[in-house]
Structure 1
Amino acid sequence: MVRAAARWILALALGAIGVVHFVSTRGFRVVVPDWATRITRLDKDAIVIASGAAEVALAAGLLALPRERRRIGIATAAFFVAVLPGNVHQWRTHRSTPGLDTEARRFGRLFLQPVLVLWALWCTAEPAHRGPLRRRLRRRSR
């Protein structure tokens, strides 16, 4: 029950921030490092839109695809790792975005990233009593 609540909170937060990426593209452009545009061959607006779309898709998957929950949790954790360079860039360049308008907040955001990775993995893990091995053993005993 706690994992389910944590998963819902994570999904709602991801979905909300993903939608904000569509509405306020300009506000998130400062987070995108210049090297990301060279590597992806996309402009900063496209990268912001793509990351917002990824967040919305991950949020939807967390809620709508219970059989794929573990995979989506891993994908969500990977997404949080992938956006870390943008957070570092924002901190190093002293650029503000909504809610991250001070040095302390930008620096603190860097430490939130590992927490988000662990949260995504934890809230999508199967409890030990319902793991795949346990299910196979229950099926055989029937």
Structure 2
Amino acid sequence: MKTSFLQNALRILLGSLMVMAGVGHLTTQREEFLAQVPAWLPNDAAFMDFVVLSSGIVEIALGLAMIFWVKNKIKAGIALAIFYILIFPGNISQYTNGIDAFGLDTDLKRLIRLFFQPVLVLWALWSTGALSFLLNRNKN
């Protein structure tokens, strides 16, 4: 599916942000990302670190797919959108448990952040042409 210059630019930007976030999981922001691990998961330090590290690797892979897997950008967009949905419980956990991280040090800031997850889902789908593909796939 053909996408516009703006869609391509925003796809590459989102992919780059994902790579940076993934690298953060593995390096300097590891402690911050621990705050995103849902409280209902096992409270074992090694397990929680595994969740942070593995999600960082997935973020890097999805980010690189968004940037370079142009031939299959719709699949990359759908995969990233699904990833955003899968990690949303971590954001809810951060809000409901009042965990400070990434400058989200009030309940209001943590609540506002929850509303940005659907924006990321739509960004991933729209910038790759996946949104049009999904909306039009049954119209024949």
TM-score by length of 1: 0.81
Does residue 1:43 correspond to 2:47, yes or no?
yes
Q: Which one of 42, 65, 70 corresponds to residue 69 of structure 2?
A: 65
**What is the RMSD computed on CA atoms of the aligned residues?**
2.0
The CA deviation at 1:8 is: 1.3
**CA offsets, 1:55-104, max 9 Å, x none?**
11001011111111100100000000000000000000110112322222
Structure 2 residue 16 is matched with structure 1 residue 12: yes
1:47 shift after superposition = 0.2
**Equivalent residue for 1:90, pick from 84, 90, 94:** 94
Mark the runs of 5 or more structure 2 residues left unpaired by the alignment. 133-140
The answer to whether 1:25 aligns with 2:30 is yes
Question: What are the ranges of 5 or more consecutive residues in structure 1 without an aligned counterpart?
Answer: 129-142
Bigger relative CO (Cα 8 Å, ≥ 6 apart): 2
Where do residues 93-132 of structure 1 align in structure 2 (5 Å cutoff)? 93-125=97-129
Q: Contact 2:16 / 2:67 at 8 angstroms: preserved in 1?
A: no
TM-score normalised according to structure 2 size: 0.82
The superposition leaves residues 97-118 of structure 1 with CA deviations (integer Å, 9 ceiling, x where unpaired) of: 1232222221111000001001
- Worse overlay, 49-58 or 92-101: 92-101
Percent of aligned positions that are identical:
36
Q: Quick check: which has more Rg, 1 or 2?
A: 1
Identify which range, 75-84 or 29-38, moves more after superposition.
Answer: 29-38
Q: Counterpart amino acid of 1:29? A: L
The letter of the residue matching 1:52 is G
Change (3 A) 1:95 1:67: same
Deviation at 1:37, TM superposition (A): 3.5
Aligned residues, how many?
A: 126
